[in-house]
Structure 1
Amino acid sequence: MADNQKLIGEIILEDLKVEGIDKVLSLTMLKAFIASPTLRYKIWFRLGSSMKGKKRWMLLYPVVYMFYRHLQYKTGFQIRLGTKIGGGLRFLHFGDVVLNASAKLGENCTIFNGVTIGAVCLGGLAPKVGDNVCFCTGAKAIGEITIGNNVVIGAGAVVVKDVPDNAVVAGVPAKIISMDGDKKASVWRH
């Protein structure tokens, strides 16, 4: 799982690396920032999450929040500021991505469009997701469950039970179809 003591700059650098950007303030970063709404969303999400509720950012936070909300509508992502998400987050497509505020995502997670990670009921707890997990198009993870490291959740799968490390799951409800998730999850990290 993500280390909560990381500085916001370190997390943003990890997010940039998965986009193929090695140098901050480079021409490549500027091009990606302009061309990619998902990259802009991640950066404003990280900044807003780090500033939320802190007095010293009281004047700047509304501006950051405004940019974040604009990109939230533009991309279709519904992720509350402050949601615990590790560095290296990657969105391959935008649209209809919903993460419950109580969800916890580890490092290097990949999320396709149509993914929901949520609670069973209003006020319920959402899944805890390990590192290097890939949620394919339309995947759902619902309830207070744990998803291990190096897991691939297939397109349209509905996960309602714990998933062990290195599993590939598919179906409704999701069932383990293989245990070589470490090989398959690495495909989306590069």
Structure 2
Amino acid sequence: MGLIKYIFQDWKVNSTDKKGRFVLLWFRISYWVTSSKMRKLLFFPVFLFNKYIVHWILGVEIGWRTKIGKNCRIFHGVGLVINSDTIIGENCTFRQGVTIGNKLDKNGIDSASPVIGNNVEFGANACAIGGIKIGNNVVIGAGCIVVKDVPDNSIAVGNPARIIKIT
């Protein structure tokens, strides 16, 4: 799917949150710029704009290598951090304070980052870390700390996360 189609889909699903629109617009453009050596050279100021304005001033850090499917929604974005190696499916929702990334393993080496399925919703201040898989149609509750796989069609809550419902 082309850059413009992604941008318009993100724009549509973030119609009530202008900051979400802005953040995803600059993420998609930065992803496009950094996916080619020639574009990196030609459009490097775009990448820098994303890095300094979106990351530093708006407080939303989405790594430029992150793979995010269509129709991503961001509500209130502040404090949102997503590691560059994370893979995110389609129709996912993120609220403020969500952190998704890797962790140090027993040997002090960075683990893999989460792989997130389609139709996943993260509540405020939720955290998913390590080489885990979060299935499709999952709700991660507010303040939840996810360090183990979450199956499809489930709701996870608590610290550490526990599955309270599988539909």
Question: TM-score scaled by structure 1?
Answer: 0.79
Matches of 1:176 and 1:80, distance apart in 2: 28
CA contact (8 A) 1:137 1:155 kept: yes
Q: RMSD value over aligned CA atoms?
A: 1.8
Matches of 1:171 and 1:55, distance apart in 2: 43
Q: Which moved more, 1:73-82 or 1:164-173?
A: 73-82
Partner residue of 2:12 out of 1, 12, 17: 17
For 2:151, the equivalent position in structure 1 comes to 164
CA contact (8 A) 1:169 1:176 kept: yes
What pairs with 1:76-87 in structure 2 (closer than 5 Å)?
76-87=59-70
CA contact (8 A) 2:33 2:44 kept: no
Q: Which runs of 5+ in 1 are unaligned?
A: 1-5, 21-31, 181-190
SS in 2 for 1:14: helix
For 1:68, the equivalent position in structure 2 comes to 50
Matches of 1:60 and 1:40, distance apart in 2: 22
SS in 2 for 1:177: strand
Matches of 1:80 and 1:109, distance apart in 2: 16
Shift of 1:75: 2.0
For 1:143, the equivalent position in structure 2 comes to 130
Quote the sequence identity (%): 40
CA deviation profile, 1:11-51 (whole Å, cap 9, x unmatched): 1122112024xxxxxxxxxxx8xx82331121111011111
Query: What amino acid does structure 1 have at the position aligned with 2:159?
Result: V
For 1:29, the equivalent position in structure 2 comes to none
Matches of 1:58 and 1:140, distance apart in 2: 31
SS in 1 for 2:6: helix
Q: Which moved more, 1:136-145 or 1:75-84?
A: 75-84
Query: What amino acid does structure 2 have at the position aligned with 1:46?
Result: R
For 2:100, the equivalent position in structure 1 comes to 117
Report how many aligned residue pairs link the two structures: 162
Q: Does 1:88 align with 2:71?
A: yes
Q: Does 1:154 align with 2:145?
A: no
For 1:185, the equivalent position in structure 2 comes to none
CA contact (8 A) 2:65 2:85 kept: no
Matches of 1:59 and 1:125, distance apart in 2: 29
Matches of 2:40 and 2:78, distance apart in 1: 30
Q: Which runs of 5+ in 2 are unaligned?
A: none
For 2:119, the equivalent position in structure 1 comes to 132
SS in 1 for 2:56: helix
CA contact (8 A) 2:90 2:117 kept: yes
